[in-house]
Structure 1
Amino acid sequence: MSLIKNNFLLYFLIFLSCNLNAQEIESDSTKIEKLSEVVVVGESNVMSVSKKLFTVSTIKRKDIDNLAGNNLADILFNNLNISVNPDASSGRSTVSLFGLDGQYVKILVDGIPVISDNGVGNNIDITQINIDDVERVEIVEGSMGVLYGDNSVAGVINIITKRGLKDNGWELQVSLQEETVGNEFELFDKGRHIQNFRATNQVNEKLSYAFGVSRNDFAGFYNDYKGPNYVNIQDNLVVNDSLRGTEWNPKEQITASANVDLDLGQHNVFYKLQYFNEDLDIYNRVVNGRYQNGSLNPTALDKNYITDRWVNNINVSGPLNGATKYNFSLSYQNQKRNYKEFIYNIFEQRTQSVEIDALSQSSEVWYSKAFVNKIFPQSDFFDLQLGYEFTNQSGFDANATGAYSNEVVKNTISNYELFGITEFQLSKKLSINPGARFTHSTQFDNHLIWSLSSNYDFSDKLKLKAVVGSAYRAPNFEELFFYFVDANHNVQGNPDLQPEDGISVFVNLKDTFRIAKEGYLNTSFNFFHIYLKDAISSITTEDGDGRILFTQDNIDYSDRLGFTLDNSFIYKNWNIGLGATYLGVKNEIQAFETNNDDYLWSLNLQTSLAYTIKKWNSIVSAQLKHTGETEGIFNNANGDEFVGITDAYTWLNASIRTNITSNLSATLGARNIFDVVNINSAASSGAHNSSATTSRLIGNGRSYFLKLLYNLNFKH
């Protein structure tokens, strides 16, 4: 606790000195032509993140189209401080930000947290988030607990969906995309095959609606494996060489959605309905050499997971009195995952019998958020925003009992939260925004989340922003309630876990320069520090019967310190980005005998290039990202936890997008040009388990894609 207090004092002094010193610097007298904002972020729009309080970077629709992105994982690879972490066995991909995993990053759709297997908004499988109806993706780095609650420690990713058309009429979009997986491709059996359809009708100025469906068929990544119908037979005997199946398990995803956007006078109603289905196959590498009627009839015990998710979101916004505005959101989401274990007949290529067919996981979430802002619109000095947030999550994850019986552990967590943000406009250039959120949970003690942000505008272009606040993460459903106990297993969650707490500071300085007649350079410098105490980690202990128990406890701390320099250069047909982050990471597991007190520093680089060829109606683009060595907490093959260092790697994508006709466009490109597949993690020097090492699959090799998009408009 003393360390946090000392950090708070240090950060508060830094915070004050940044803004007091800023007042002493004269405004930049150089006239720079104002660069128009690409993103319109209204302070009263709950769907967008406040650019006044936070530094917001944006992935625009044209960037998504240049990448031929279909899900969120496709477009986040090139973000400087974000890493996409795929799991080949489960098929899930999560994000980490500043080396903090998906538990610390909150993902929203139109300002509403996304439901996941074990939480709300966190540890989301981003391959399940379809982005064909998305207008832009907003990324905010830094702790945002006051506005977005617990678990938004490293940052927030907010996905904004499309709403209506510019003119009255219909818009129909159909797209087909074929993509290799490494060097593997067949029209139906290998590779990645994507189809999309979307229709939008702008009925009049007040009403629009849209509906669509998307299918993403990923046939898996075979690599050196031989597929589900492989069996090695020698001398009429099955030889188990562990080559059956695939390196990356295949899955098919279907997303269907519809929305309505209605203006009632000055008030707006937006409703979104979405259904998601995922069918994931897991092939057993062990083949059973059974004989039937005197002949060899090999089989394998395979698994299948089917996930169904329904999302209902409604948002109502408008004025209460003059400039005072309200926002109200209500969401009901549910997700069910069915588990099937079956005997697969390899020669006959069919399911021979079903051993288990049961509901494996269920989550139901009610969520509501509302706030009122500009409560004192007449005051030039003081303003206030007040709101509430309510979350009720119930369900289970029934790896419980090992036999998938109906004796599952079902639990409910409810959060009741009140928050407020104040603004003191001390001068035309300087504003200070203190904020606080009070959280009451049915699982944890009451908690206060706080933040203090400030803005100082040296000029229209040179601006300083500082944010200091709580870094607060509550345990997720699995960490609290997971239960897998049988004759061979004793793995249980810990309902007595306490939330992680800490402090974060982010300072941002940005400027815009005009270069020549048609050129602009946008530069942004960031300093950040995130400190977490009582970090949650896996431990081994004994239960009341003296058995070895694998569970969770608050025993660690985690520390992130770093600097980021990001540049964007626009000149005529060129758009070039260049960024670098120097990140220091320090983790400690107190159960280890020794720990390294030094930061492990890594240099991460990112560059992007886009060139418009007007004569050909084409855009050529490329994205290069180098991720340096990183430190994290990993598990080896035996399930033992260790602090490890992950090797550096470099990722390169490139594409060309061209308009063949006014209605038809094509995008041709390559992903992972440097053919990165595996990276290694080894124990840090001095760790108790110094021999620990693991290899992690992060890519499926160099892949090529072709996307055809047909767009047709009918005006009323």
Structure 2
Amino acid sequence: MFIRRNILFAIALFGITSVNAQEDKDGQQQDDTVLEEIVISGQYSPQEVNKSIYEVRVINREMIDRLAGNNLADVLNQTLNLNIRPNASTGKSGVEMFGLDAQYFKILVDNVPLVNDESFGSNTDLTQINLDDILQIEIVEGAMGVEYGANAAAGIINIITKKSIPGSWEITPVLQEETIGNEYNLNTKGRHIQSLKIAHQLLDRLYMDATFSRNDFKGHWADRKGEQYALNDSLRGYEWLPKLQQSAKMTMAYTGDNYRIFFKSEYYNEKINKYSEIVSPGYNPETATYQPFSNDEIITTNRYFNLLNASGNANWFKYDVSLSYQQQTRSVEEYKYLIKKDERTNVLKYDFESRKVLYSKGIFSNFVKSDFFDFQIGYEISEMNGFTSFRKGFFDGKNIDRKIGSYDIFGSAEFNITPKFSIRPGMRLLNSNLFDQEIAYSVSAKYILPKGYELRAVYGMSPRLPNYEELYSYYFDANHDIQGNENLTTEKGRSAFLHLKKRFEFNEGSYTNRLSLSLFEVEDRIDLVVASAPGDPLVYRYLNVDTYKNRNISYMGNFRYKNFDAGFGITYGATLKTLNQSEDTNDYLYSMNLNFNVSYKIEKTNTTASLLFKYTGPEYEYVQTGTDIINPTYTRGKRQEISWVDATVRQGFYNNKLDVTVGVRNLFDVTRIRTSSEGAGAHTAGANTLLMGYGRSYFVKLLYKLSI
């Protein structure tokens, strides 16, 4: 361990001390109005989006502000091909891409994976990512295993942060008040958000900023009665759990003539209150009195994120080297709550999940000064140490530390065959302390057709590594015997994409459209299956048994004319999930999604009005039926469609120093949707409901930008 850590620091130190050159500040242009045209994800160096060999979708700062987005879930909820999956009982929000859950793509901050409760980079809770210092969000679909390693089979979401300002000083306080459904007051209901960012540009070389944010989600009561309700009728507590999130961030960036070094640090804290709906009477026979109580808990998450990056031009090549140390710990405070006394007793505190990650990535390119040929080589190393505690029934009441190490090398070459045709093959060798060596590969190509049509094609393979729970869980009680499996192998994800894009320019406007075809396949998917013999007590174990296939076609268009902006997208997909090699699940299931957004700016009053609509059609999946667990049967289940609408009006005052945004989320008042098995009758699994939202909410956001 000591040797490996010293190697990581030595590599990063080499990248920092050998600097002699870099392009421009941030590797990006400084004018916010053109930043959406510059992309970083998957590139040898930052460049205009139309020159990228990958098809990169960009959510710029303007769109984030239009939505009054505070966290990543607020913004991605309106994005085509991404479906947000909130969980009211845990407070988390995950995301699916092309029907694959969050294990199959990575969320990055400045090209570095982000540690979380479940993994490193994947399975990230979107509500834990604050957007106060975000420049733009880049989305790349398809196997990105060569550039970003394991667990990037479906693609990546890369969050690019700001590292410069136009002037000398910027001080930006933000205040946002929001209802939770129809619930709001200043004390016990609603969502209350405050943030403050202070940024300073020193002598055009050194940039510094500090940001503090606080998001107090008071929970959704619905028909529940809150913490101090003392009757045992299942109405105590909240439908959506109260959650308090606080973060403090700082950035320092120094830009030389041909290089840039930046350091980022963040502390994130989250507290979730879980109130039991079960109320015990607390009868005392000696005094013949009652003291009702519940067994409650507070779950606290602490995350530390540190990133040091150096990039630029050495004498004969370009480099980009990152070194990161991250830590995330979840702890629980269990207590007996005496409801009438408003008093906590029998308090027990302990950590039940921990992740510590040491990470480094280096990319080196432009060794050959040629317009025809370029190549890139790199390394990516991570060591994650952690545990999941006995609280979940793991390993006989002891916290067992486990380490997952990944030591990869990768490379790609880009051939510009003609000014209109380029191709990039690439390969990565994935080495791990737990798994056999794997190979990720990809081939990307771009061809400029007549009349300016852009054709891009990407084919690749990216593996997914088993996570902590699949490898090490051991949960046993009267009803469960669930075992992890340290002999699991990696899943194999393959994808192919074809994108056709064209931008039409006309007087004071433009129209951009894109048609995409995609194929996904995942082999050796991990599933929890019955591992006991017939007649023996049931034992469940994780095994590589399933397959997954997805076929998808989508169209996206964007129209701009003067101050009018409109976007439209539609996608139609077919998914095949073979569960436990069952013949009952060998049919494709079809789904459709579409979105639409429109905005108009009134120059005279500096007012921008926006409307965003997303329709997620009925979703189908196979659900287990009957009582035979050893030889299960499946029937097709249906999840009700969702129509989600957000509307905002943004008004600037005092030369845009004061920005006021008012709006409504979830205009159609979505709360629960129906899920059911087809043909469900009186004695089968009929309709159930799934909690997807807490109803129509209203908000007002005040932002003041003081520039000096």
Find the partner of 1:630 among 607, 615, 619.
619
Q: Which amino acid in 1 is paired with 2:521?
A: Y
Q: Which amino acid in 1 is paired with 2:102?
A: G
Deviation at 1:304, TM superposition (A): 1.2
Residue 280 (structure 1) aligns with: 272
Residue 23 (structure 1) aligns with: none
Structure-2 separation of matches of 1:604 and 1:338: 38
Q: Does 1:594 align with 2:588?
A: no
Deviation at 1:684, TM superposition (A): 6.2
Q: Which amino acid in 2 is paired with 1:711?
A: K
Find the partner of 2:456 among 465, 469, 493.
465
Structure-2 separation of matches of 1:638 and 1:263: 66
Residue 20 (structure 1) aligns with: none
Larger deviation, residues 286-295 vs 602-611: 286-295
Structure-1 separation of matches of 2:47 and 2:93: 24
Larger deviation, residues 368-377 vs 103-112: 368-377
Structure-2 separation of matches of 1:480 and 1:685: 37
- SS of the equivalent of 2:531 reads strand
Residue 645 (structure 1) aligns with: 638
Work out whether residues 153 and 493 of structure 2, in 8 Å CA contact, stay in contact via their aligned partners in 1: no
Relative to structure 1, the CA distance from residue 645 to residue 376 in structure 2 (aligned partners, 3 Å threshold; closer, same or farther) is farther
Deviation at 1:170, TM superposition (A): 1.2
What number of residue pairs does the alignment pair up?
A: 665
Q: Which amino acid in 1 is paired with 2:148?
A: Y
Structure-1 separation of matches of 2:531 and 2:172: 57
Q: Does 1:691 align with 2:674?
A: no
Residue 10 (structure 2) aligns with: none
- SS of the equivalent of 2:158 reads strand
Residue 39 (structure 2) aligns with: 41
The C-alpha deviation readout for 1:605-663, integer Å capped at 9, x for no partner, is 10000100112111100110000122346799999896643221110000001012232
Structure-2 separation of matches of 1:133 and 1:117: 23
Relative to structure 1, the CA distance from residue 388 to residue 633 in structure 2 (aligned partners, 3 Å threshold; closer, same or farther) is farther
Q: Does 1:265 align with 2:254?
A: no
Structure-1 separation of matches of 2:628 and 2:473: 16
Q: Which amino acid in 2 is paired with 1:39?
A: E
Q: Which amino acid in 2 is paired with 1:570?
A: R
Work out whether residues 210 and 258 of structure 1, in 8 Å CA contact, stay in contact via their aligned partners in 2: yes
- SS of the equivalent of 1:65 reads helix
Q: Does 1:289 align with 2:281?
A: yes
Aligned-pair Cα RMSD in Å: 2.6
Q: Which amino acid in 2 is paired with 1:349?
A: D
Relative to structure 1, the CA distance from residue 670 to residue 229 in structure 2 (aligned partners, 3 Å threshold; closer, same or farther) is same
Relative to structure 1, the CA distance from residue 263 to residue 684 in structure 2 (aligned partners, 3 Å threshold; closer, same or farther) is farther
Deviation at 1:487, TM superposition (A): 5.3
Work out whether residues 304 and 341 of structure 1, in 8 Å CA contact, stay in contact via their aligned partners in 2: yes
Work out whether residues 36 and 136 of structure 2, in 8 Å CA contact, stay in contact via their aligned partners in 1: no
Relative to structure 1, the CA distance from residue 637 to residue 401 in structure 2 (aligned partners, 3 Å threshold; closer, same or farther) is farther
Residue 445 (structure 1) aligns with: 436
Relative to structure 1, the CA distance from residue 410 to residue 49 in structure 2 (aligned partners, 3 Å threshold; closer, same or farther) is farther
Residue 14 (structure 1) aligns with: none
Q: Does 1:674 align with 2:668?
A: yes
List aligned pairs for 1:462-541, cutoff 5 A.
462-486=453-477, 489-515=480-506, 517-541=507-531
- The alignment's TM-score, normalised by the length of structure 1, stands at 0.88
Structure-2 separation of matches of 1:645 and 1:586: 15
Larger deviation, residues 702-711 vs 422-431: 422-431
Q: Does 1:357 align with 2:355?
A: no
- SS of the equivalent of 2:464 reads coil
Residue 698 (structure 2) aligns with: 704
Residue 135 (structure 1) aligns with: 135
Relative to structure 1, the CA distance from residue 331 to residue 644 in structure 2 (aligned partners, 3 Å threshold; closer, same or farther) is farther
Work out whether residues 529 and 580 of structure 2, in 8 Å CA contact, stay in contact via their aligned partners in 1: no
Relative to structure 1, the CA distance from residue 696 to residue 51 in structure 2 (aligned partners, 3 Å threshold; closer, same or farther) is farther
The C-alpha deviation readout for 1:322-342, integer Å capped at 9, x for no partner, is 5x3101001100011111211
Structure 2: 5+ residue stretches without partners: 1-32
- SS of the equivalent of 1:594 reads helix
Deviation at 1:350, TM superposition (A): 2.7
Residue 95 (structure 1) aligns with: 95
Deviation at 1:361, TM superposition (A): 0.5
Q: Does 1:568 align with 2:558?
A: yes
Structure-1 separation of matches of 2:625 and 2:84: 20
Deviation at 1:291, TM superposition (A): 2.8
The C-alpha deviation readout for 1:294-314, integer Å capped at 9, x for no partner, is 332211011210111101011
Relative to structure 1, the CA distance from residue 297 to residue 564 in structure 2 (aligned partners, 3 Å threshold; closer, same or farther) is same
- SS of the equivalent of 1:147 reads helix
List aligned pairs for 1:310-329, cutoff 5 A.
310-322=304-316, 324-329=317-322
The C-alpha deviation readout for 1:350-375, integer Å capped at 9, x for no partner, is 31331x31111100011111011122
Structure-2 separation of matches of 1:460 and 1:41: 24
Relative to structure 1, the CA distance from residue 48 to residue 252 in structure 2 (aligned partners, 3 Å threshold; closer, same or farther) is farther
The C-alpha deviation readout for 1:414-438, integer Å capped at 9, x for no partner, is 1111111111222121111111001
Relative to structure 1, the CA distance from residue 476 to residue 112 in structure 2 (aligned partners, 3 Å threshold; closer, same or farther) is same
Work out whether residues 611 and 648 of structure 2, in 8 Å CA contact, stay in contact via their aligned partners in 1: yes
Q: Which amino acid in 2 is paired with 1:578?
A: F
- SS of the equivalent of 1:448 reads strand
Find the partner of 2:301 among 295, 302, 307.
307
Relative to structure 1, the CA distance from residue 173 to residue 563 in structure 2 (aligned partners, 3 Å threshold; closer, same or farther) is same
Residue 185 (structure 1) aligns with: 184
Q: Which amino acid in 2 is paired with 1:321?
A: N
Work out whether residues 471 and 530 of structure 1, in 8 Å CA contact, stay in contact via their aligned partners in 2: no
- SS of the equivalent of 1:321 reads coil
Residue 655 (structure 1) aligns with: 648
Structure-2 separation of matches of 1:216 and 1:49: 34
Q: Does 1:371 align with 2:363?
A: yes
The C-alpha deviation readout for 1:522-568, integer Å capped at 9, x for no partner, is 01000001011111112122399954222211111111101111000
- SS of the equivalent of 1:220 reads coil
The C-alpha deviation readout for 1:491-545, integer Å capped at 9, x for no partner, is 2221111111142100000001134x22211010000010111111121223999
Residue 557 (structure 1) aligns with: 547
Deviation at 1:592, TM superposition (A): 3.8
Work out whether residues 44 and 376 of structure 2, in 8 Å CA contact, stay in contact via their aligned partners in 1: no
Q: Does 1:619 align with 2:618?
A: no
Q: Which amino acid in 2 is paired with 1:703?
A: S
The C-alpha deviation readout for 1:61-111, integer Å capped at 9, x for no partner, is 111111111110010011010011111111111111011111012100000
The C-alpha deviation readout for 1:374-399, integer Å capped at 9, x for no partner, is 2212x333221110100111101114
Structure-2 separation of matches of 1:174 and 1:53: 39
Larger deviation, residues 547-556 vs 367-376: 547-556
Deviation at 1:403, TM superposition (A): 9.2
Structure 1: 5+ residue stretches without partners: 1-34, 233-239
Larger deviation, residues 638-647 vs 621-630: 638-647
Structure-1 separation of matches of 2:106 and 2:607: 35
- SS of the equivalent of 2:299 reads strand
Work out whether residues 394 and 474 of structure 2, in 8 Å CA contact, stay in contact via their aligned partners in 1: no
Q: Which amino acid in 1 is paired with 2:643?
A: T
Structure-2 separation of matches of 1:619 and 1:543: 65
Relative to structure 1, the CA distance from residue 523 to residue 402 in structure 2 (aligned partners, 3 Å threshold; closer, same or farther) is same
- The alignment's TM-score, normalised by the length of structure 2, stands at 0.89
Structure-2 separation of matches of 1:432 and 1:122: 29
- SS of the equivalent of 1:615 reads coil
Q: Which amino acid in 2 is paired with 1:118?
A: E
Deviation at 1:46, TM superposition (A): 8.0
- SS of the equivalent of 2:314 reads strand
Deviation at 1:695, TM superposition (A): 2.6
Structure-2 separation of matches of 1:562 and 1:433: 24
Work out whether residues 620 and 639 of structure 2, in 8 Å CA contact, stay in contact via their aligned partners in 1: yes
Work out whether residues 37 and 49 of structure 2, in 8 Å CA contact, stay in contact via their aligned partners in 1: no
Residue 13 (structure 1) aligns with: none
Deviation at 1:222, TM superposition (A): 1.2
- SS of the equivalent of 2:422 reads strand
